[in-house]
C-alpha cells in the first residue's frame, strides 16, 4: 500500500512514524512551507518536514493544493491512501478523490464535538471530562466525515494544553496504526456517520483570549490558565503589574473584594479575587523574565504580603 502523508506540527510526527512502521510505503510527505520562527525570524522547517528528511522521505511543500498542477503532482505519487494529521491546508474535493482508498484524518477530539482548529484547548476551557482521537474518513466539510476508529482519555484536573496535546498525539498514532494494520490485513473498516446532535466548533485560539477577566468565576480562569499552557499563556494583573500566569487553582472562597484584587499572598500562592471564588496563582512570569514560583515573585514584591491590595 502506497501512502502519502500530510501533516505539519509536532502533533503529527508520531502518526508519520506509525505509517512508516505499518509495513506500508510512505511515498511522499506533504507539509506546509517553511515559516519564519525564533527571534531572528529565519525560515524554519516544520517538525514533520524534519522527521521526513531524517527518514529519507520525499517532501512536498505546496502553498496550496487547489491548482491543477498541484493535484497532478500529488496524483503522480500514485497513493492508495492519503493520511492527513494537522496539515493546516484545505483539501479540495478533487484531491480527496485521488487515492482509491480515500483520505483518512486523525482528529484530536470525540467528534462531532470540537470540529475545527483548536479541539484540545477548547475541551479544557469547556471543562470536558474526557477527550480522545478519532480516525475519520475525510469529506469536503470541516471534520464532518464518518468515524472509523476512536480512542478516549479522561481530562485530569491537572491537565494542560501541553500535557493533553502530547497524550492525544500518541493516541492518534495508536488509532492510526490500528486502522492501517486492519486495512493491510484485508479488513474494511466500518464507517460510522457522526450524529447530528452535539456538534461544536473549536475556533482557532486568539491571543486576546489569554487576558484573564477576574470578574468571571475562578474555575473558568483556572481552565483558561491550563488550556493556554504552553501557548498563548494566560495573562493577568497582580498588584498593578501585568504578568503571564502559568499555574493557578480555583479556590472556593467567599469575599466581597473587587475582582482582581489580592486577597492574600504567601509562599503557597497569591490569591486573587474573582467574580465567584478566588484564583490562587502558583507560577508566573514577569515581563522580560522567566517562569518563577509565587514564592520567588513575592521575594521581589514583598509589599503584596499582609493587607489585601
Annotated binding-site positions for (6S)-5,6,7,8-tetrahydrofolate = 109-112
Q: Give SS3 for 268.
A: coil
Greatest distance between any 2 Cα atoms in the chain: 72
- Work out the angle between the directed axes of helices 13-21 and 161-184 (0-180°, nearest 10): 20
Alpha-carbon distances, residue 228 vs 161, 163, 247 (angstroms): 6, 11, 10
Residue 216: how many other CB atoms lie within 10 Å: 15
- Work out the angle between the directed axes of helices 47-54 and 13-21 (0-180°, nearest 10): 30
Asked if 143 and 228 touch (Cβ cutoff 8 Å), the reply is no
Residue 197 grid cell: 446532535
Q: Which of 113, 133, 112 is nearest to 122 (CA)?
A: 113
- Using CA atoms, how far apart are residues 137 and 140, in angstroms rounded to an integer? 10
- Using CA atoms, how far apart are residues 228 and 180, in angstroms rounded to an integer? 33
**Which positions ≥6 away from 144 have C-beta within 8 Å?**
112, 115, 194
Alpha carbons within 13 angstroms on the beta-carbon side of residue 140 total 4
- Using CA atoms, how far apart are residues 183 and 17, in angstroms rounded to an integer? 17
Alpha carbons within 13 angstroms on the beta-carbon side of residue 275 total 10
Q: Which residues are annotated as a binding site?
A: 109-112
Asked if 263 and 274 touch (Cβ cutoff 8 Å), the reply is no
Amino acid at each position: 500500500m502506497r501512502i502519502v502523508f500530510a501533516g505539519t506540527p509536532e502533533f503529527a510526527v508520531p502518526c508519520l512514524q506509525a505509517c512508516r512502521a505499518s509495513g506500508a510505503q510512505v511515498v511522499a510527505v506533504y507539509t506546509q512551507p517553511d515559516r519564519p520562527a525564533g527571534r531572528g525570524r529565519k525560515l524554519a522547517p516544520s517538525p514533520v518536514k524534519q522527521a521526513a528528511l531524517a527518514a529519507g522521505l520525499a517532501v512536498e511543500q505546496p502553498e496550496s493544493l487547489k491548482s491543477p498542477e498541484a493535484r497532478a503532482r500529488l496524483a503522480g505519487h500514485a497513493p492508495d491512501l492519503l493520511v492527513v494529521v494537522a496539515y493546516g491546508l484545505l483539501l479540495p474535493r478533487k484531491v480527496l478523490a485521488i487515492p482509491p482508498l480515500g483520505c483518512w484524518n486523525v482528529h484530536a477530539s470525540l467528534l462531532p464535538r470540537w470540529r475545527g482548529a483548536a479541539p484540545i484547548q477548547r475541551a479544557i476551557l469547556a471543562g470536558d471530562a474526557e477527550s480522545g482521537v478519532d480516525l475519520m474518513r475525510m469529506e469536503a466539510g470541516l471534520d464532518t466525515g464518518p468515524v472509523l476508529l476512536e480512542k478516549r482519555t479522561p481530562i485530569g484536573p491537572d491537565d494542560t494544553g501541553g500535557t493533553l496535546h502530547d497524550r492525544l498525539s500518541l493516541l492518534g498514532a495508536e488509532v492510526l496504526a490500528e486502522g492501517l494494520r486492519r486495512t493491510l490485513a484485508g479488513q474494511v473498516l466500518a464507517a460510522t456517520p457522526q450524529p447530528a446532535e452535539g456538534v461544536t466548533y473549536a475556533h482557532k485560539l486568539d491571543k486576546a483570549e489569554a487576558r484573564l477577566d477576574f470578574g468571571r468565576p475562578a474555575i473558568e480562569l483556572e481552565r483558561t490558565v491550563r488550556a493556554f499552557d504552553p501557548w498563548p499563556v494566560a495573562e493577568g494583573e497582580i498588584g498593578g503589574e501585568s504578568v503571564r500566569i502559568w499555574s493557578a487553582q480555583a479556590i472556593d472562597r467567599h469575599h466581597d473584594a473587587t475582582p482582581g484584587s489580592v486577597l492574600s499572598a504567601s509562599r503557597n500562592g497569591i490569591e486573587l479575587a474573582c467574580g465567584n471564588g478566588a484564583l490562587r496563582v502558583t507560577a508566573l512570569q514577569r515581563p522580560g523574565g522567566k517562569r518563577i514560583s509565587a514564592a520567588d515573585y513575592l521575594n521581589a514584591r514583598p509589599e503584596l504580603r499582609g493587607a489585601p491590595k
